[in-house]
Amino acid sequence: MPNQASDIVARLAALGLAVPEPAAPVANYVGATLSGALLFVSGQLPFGADGALGAAHRGKVGADVTPEAAQAAARLCALNVLGQAQLALGDLRRLKRCLRVGGFVAAAPGFVGVPGVVNGASDLIVAALGEAGRHARAAVGVAELPLGACVEIEATFEVAA
Amino acid sequence: MPNQASDIVARLAALGLAVPEPAAPVANYVGATLSGALLFVSGQLPFGADGALGAAHRGKVGADVTPEAAQAAARLCALNVLGQAQLALGDLRRLKRCLRVGGFVAAAPGFVGVPGVVNGASDLIVAALGEAGRHARAAVGVAELPLGACVEIEATFEVAA
Amino acid sequence: MPNQASDIVARLAALGLAVPEPAAPVANYVGATLSGALLFVSGQLPFGADGALGAAHRGKVGADVTPEAAQAAARLCALNVLGQAQLALGDLRRLKRCLRVGGFVAAAPGFVGVPGVVNGASDLIVAALGEAGRHARAAVGVAELPLGACVEIEATFEVAA
């Protein structure tokens, strides 16, 4: 059913994707917090399945990183968002909807194709949650991101009680 | 009454302003999401009543765009925020309060007048909602915005059940 | 008790810190908004106890400002976040948890140590609230901040009814 997010793992598996088990943050913050029906997920970087930040995903989009590579990086970020949600909730079937995505793109001067990059994250979340994945979004081009990553994605979800 | 947001359309009309009917996003996200009493509105660009991004609102504030033009652009962004709220809610009278505004200004090197620019959005929201429009706010200067826009504004509202 | 935030003032006093009484914003926004159990605190700058933005906390991190000075600035921002919360709630003991921190660092080109800077805020919030202070977080490097500040910190808290 398009408005249910109950088969996220199966949808992703059909795309050849798995929800990663993310590493815990190494500072005084956590991957996600839950308050009532709201789950706030920390900004995620495009770490791959091996836990590493690939060279193709470091640098400024429009200079060091192509828009296509950055879109793929945003997709990885979104997978890691789902990984943090799974870690926090125990079961992704508790995700009811994605409410908001914040997308930050490390933009070279003059690179204004920010939305296309963040679409990599939005598309992944909709692929995973169906219609329930369609979210409000703010997408901006920033100066620098942690570890020199080209994209960072944070998200807020509505969660079943 | 100053603490009610029930006559937003009338207040704006008295200023010669109308709430625009925004175009739907052309990607896998939506203009706004509603969860319980919270409405999350996507980051809006300064599209004018004709749906176009004017040349005066493209580029970096402090270089290509004057602070005054950027403030006017922020006001347009806020009108478009209200347009998305209207589209999502059907009736702006359901808006109870504005809780948070995120303001992103495409800043030329050394342009630190970010708050003055974002005031264009804050003032419009307070003009529309009265005291109920007074919000928490984060305002920052970013590297690049979608389509080369000089400002982007997102907002969160409290909505009547 | 590690999961209670009831002795914030005492914890800070033990560190030689006091929660400042912040100045009201000088524009059409407020320091914080409360909706149900959610408190949204506006982005705070590193004003010191004297209400001034010190010269050591102005400019770009990695060029004008050292990472260490920026981390200290982020700590000041977080104190000011608590100050705004106190002003809004009357009593910080109403803070139950910190849900989300947004950290914006004015980054010189190539400065990717954004997380270390924002740790100054995260560590202060955890020092004040204990385990209840551990939050979701998005940390990015931006182009410019209001008044030329090197850091800005916003936060969302869960509040007791």
B91-136 pLDDT, tens digit per residue, is: 999 999 999 999 999 999 999 999 999 999 999 999 999 999 999 9
Is there a contact between A143 and C139 if contact means CB atoms under 8 Å apart? no
Q: Give CA–CA dist B135/C121, Å, rounded.
A: 22
Instruction: Report if residue C27 sits inside a domain.
Output: no
Report yes or no on A62 lying in a domain. yes
Name chain B contacts of A134, Cβ cutoff 8 Å.
Answer: 28-30, 33
- Does any CB of chain C come closer than 8 Å to the CB of residue A40? yes
Q: Is residue A28 part of a domain?
A: no
Q: Specify the amino acid at residue C111.
A: F
Asked, for residue B39, whether it belongs to a domain, the answer is: no
Strand ranges, E, within C83-159: 95-106, 136-142, 151-159
Can you tell me whether residue B109 is helix, strand or coil? coil
Check CB contact of A11 with chain B, cutoff 8 Å. Answer: no
Nearest to B146 among A38, A135, A139 (CB): A139
Q: Which residue has the higher pLDDT, B161 or C74?
A: C74
Structural domain contains residue A33: no
Contact between chains at C29 and B143 (C-beta distance less than 8 A): no
Determine, for residues C154 and B138 on separate chains, whether the beta-carbon distance falls below 8 Å.
yes
> Does residue C122 belong to the interface with chain A, where contact is any CB pair within 8 Å?
yes
Strand order through the sheet with B95-106: B32-35, B38-44, B151-159, B95-106, B136-142
Q: pLDDT: is B31 or A22 the higher one?
A: B31
Q: Give the Cβ contact number of residue B1 at 10 Å.
A: 9
> Is the confidence at residue B87, as pLDDT, over 50?
yes
Name every chain A residue with its beta carbon within 8 A of the beta carbon of B148.
112
C-alpha–C-alpha distance, residues C64 and A87, integer Å: 39
Q: Does C6 touch chain A (CB under 8 A)?
A: no
Is C99 in contact with A7 (CB distance < 8 Å)? no
Least-confidence region, from B32-46, B143-157, C1-15, C19-33: C1-15
The CATH code of the domain that includes A98 is 3.30.1330.40
Q: What are phi and psi of A60, to 5 degrees?
A: -95, 135
Cβ of residue C146 closer than 8 Å to a chain B Cβ: yes
Per-residue tokens: A30? 């956590």
- Chain A residues with CB under 8 Å of C35 CB are none
Is some CB atom of chain A closer than 8 A to the CB atom of B126?
no
Q: Which of residues 78-107 of C touch A (CB under 8 A)?
A: 97-101, 105-107
* Bigger pLDDT: B108 vs A49: B108
What are the residues facing A61 on neighbouring strands?
A65, A107
Rounded distance between C-alpha atoms, residue C27 and residue B121, angstroms? 11
Mapped onto helix, strand or coil, the DSSP state of residue B130 is helix
Q: Is the pLDDT of residue C108 over 50?
A: yes
Q: Which of C142, C99, C97, C95 is nearest to C117 (CA)?
A: C142
**Which residue in the block uniquely carries the two structure tokens 């947004």?**
C102
Measured CA to CA, the distance from residue A87 to residue A97 in angstroms comes to: 17
| Chain B residues inside the 8 Å CB shell of C154 | 136, 138
Given a cut of 70, whether residue A4 has pLDDT beyond it is no
Mutate to test the interface with B, among C65, C144, C154 (most CBs of B within 10 A): C144
Contact C53, C147 (CB under 8 A): yes
Specify the pLDDT at position C159: 97
In this complex, is the C-beta atom of A160 within 8 Å of any C-beta atom belonging to chain B? Answer: no
Could you tell me which chain C residue has the CA closest to the CA of A44?
Answer: C138
Contact C30 B143 (CB under 8 A): no
* C23, two tokens: 């100045």
What whole-number distance in Å separates Cα of residue C106 and Cα of residue C39? Answer: 25
Question: Is residue B129 included in any domain, yes or no?
Answer: yes
* Beta carbons of B137 and C36 less than 8 Å apart: no
- Judge whether C116 is closer than 8 Å to chain B, CB to CB: no
Q: Which structural domain, as residue segments, surrounds residue B145?
A: 8-19+59-159
Inside any domain, residue C1? no
**Closest residue of C to A106, CA-based?**
C141
**Number of folded domains that form chain A:** 1
Which of B4-13, B44-53, B133-142, C113-122 shows the lowest per-residue confidence on average (mean pLDDT)? B4-13
Residue A34 lies in a domain: no
Predicted confidence at residue A25, as pLDDT, reads: 83
Tell whether C40 lies on the interface with B, counting CB pairs under 8 A: yes
Query: What percent of chain C is modeled with pLDDT above 70?
Result: 96
The string of pLDDT tens digits covering residues A118-134 is 999 999 999 999 999 99
Chain B neighbors of A131, CB-CB under 8 A: none
Q: Does B110 touch chain A (CB under 8 A)?
A: no
